[in-house]
Amino acid sequence: MGEKIGLVAGGGSFPLLFAAEAKKAGREVYIVGLEGITPKEIENYAVETQYFKLGNIGGPLTYLRERGVKKAMMVGNIPHVNIFGGIMPDMRAAKLLFKLRDKKANSIFSAVSEEFAKDGIEIVSSATLLEHLLIKPGLITGKKPDADTLKTAAFGWKAAKALSSFDIGLTVVLRDQTVLAVEGMEGTDECIKRAGAILKKLGKGPTMTVVKVARPNQDMRFDLPVAGASTLRTMAEAGATTLFIEAGKTLILGMEEFLAAAKETRVTVFGAENEDSFK
């Protein structure tokens, strides 16, 4: 029997990717699904799946504890803002929410991980078994960015880091050191589309730079930034030519497809570690 691991699965392809990798590695995966959010296909990779309403903490903890799970992950898109509107939390979640110092994603997920720890379940890095998909530093694909692009990216890095510290978003889209759009709750791809529409309205040529970062002091247990082939295709359609993403803290969802899309769209991808990466 393989090692047991629990998976609190949000939406999107990230939970599917992990579950598939875990099954391939011989792990027994017990999935906590979220009603109306978790993709049903994930059941194909699990020993068992149970679904709970968003805002229920006691139920998932009992489910995992009774099955002998000692380690768990929280991955995928979890609309944490919904906990505060239209969602009825259970008693345990209500007590947790009452103690929160703010409603940022990091604060909520940190508090949830503490509740898991009280029941003997450790929340581990969401890059577990996926370390090979973390972006490496340096030029990943495409042509080397020129001096002007690096200056724009350096400015975008500072802007994105500032925004992410307030839990606003992780991505900014720029042209000539001018921010055209910042990411909100709509996600990276929609932010890029919005920037492209602005550029088109201004009658400017399609040369935009996209910068995506992790939060300052990123907790590797949850809410890691991710990128995939769809982002590169969205960039190409919007007129963005270069993507700078934070190395070591950004997961690529489907590396082979991502690299193939980069070649197809001719988008340059660069992994940046810090501000010195742009010098």
What pLDDT is recorded for position 1?
Answer: 59
Question: Measured between alpha carbons, how far is 220 from 130 in angstroms, rounded to an integer?
Answer: 12
3-class DSSP state for residue 33? strand
pTM across the whole model: 0.88
For residue 91, what pLDDT is reported?
Answer: 83
- Cα separation of 211 and 30, whole Å? 35
Q: Rounded to the nearest 10 degrees, what angle do helices 229-238 and 255-265 cross at?
A: 20
At 146, list the tokens.
């020129």
Whole-angstrom CA distances from 79 to 24, 55, 178, 226 are 29, 11, 30, 16
Fold match between domain 4-123 and domain 131-278 = no
pLDDT in tens, 127-157: 999 999 999 999 999 999 999 999 999 999 9
d(CA 194, CA 196): 5
Question: Quick check: helix, strand or coil at residue 277?
Answer: helix
Residue ranges of the alpha helices (H) in 14-134?
A: 14-24, 58-66, 91-99, 105-118
Kindly give the interhelix angle for 91-99 and 105-118, rounded to the nearest 10 degrees: 130
Question: Which sign, positive or negative, has the C-alpha torsion 180, 211, 251, 254?
Answer: positive
What architecture does CATH give domain 4-123?
3-Layer(aba) Sandwich (3.40)
∠ CA 47-53-55, rounded to 5° = 115
Confidence at residue 89, expressed as pLDDT on a 0 to 100 scale = 78
Q: How far apart are CA 73 and CA 52, in angstroms?
A: 16
How far apart are alpha carbons 242 and 187 in whole angstroms? 18
- Lowest average pLDDT, out of 93-107, 155-169, 216-230, goes to 93-107
CA 242 – CA 273 distance, rounded (Å): 16
Q: What confidence tier does 210 reach under pLDDT thresholds 50, 70, 90?
A: very high
Mean confidence (pLDDT) of the chain? 91
Q: Where are the domains of the chain?
A: 4-123, 131-278
Kindly report, residue by residue over 28-76, the tens digit of the pLDDT: 999 999 999 999 999 999 999 999 998 889 999 999 999 999 999 999 8
Contacts of 186 by beta carbon, 8 Å cutoff, 6+ apart:
194
Burial of 137 (0-12, 13-18, 19+ CB in 10 A): middle
In this prediction, residue 84 has a pLDDT band, given cuts at 50, 70 and 90, of very low
Spatial contact of 41 and 105, defined as CB atoms under 8 Å apart:
no
Please give the class, per CATH, of domain 131-278: alpha beta
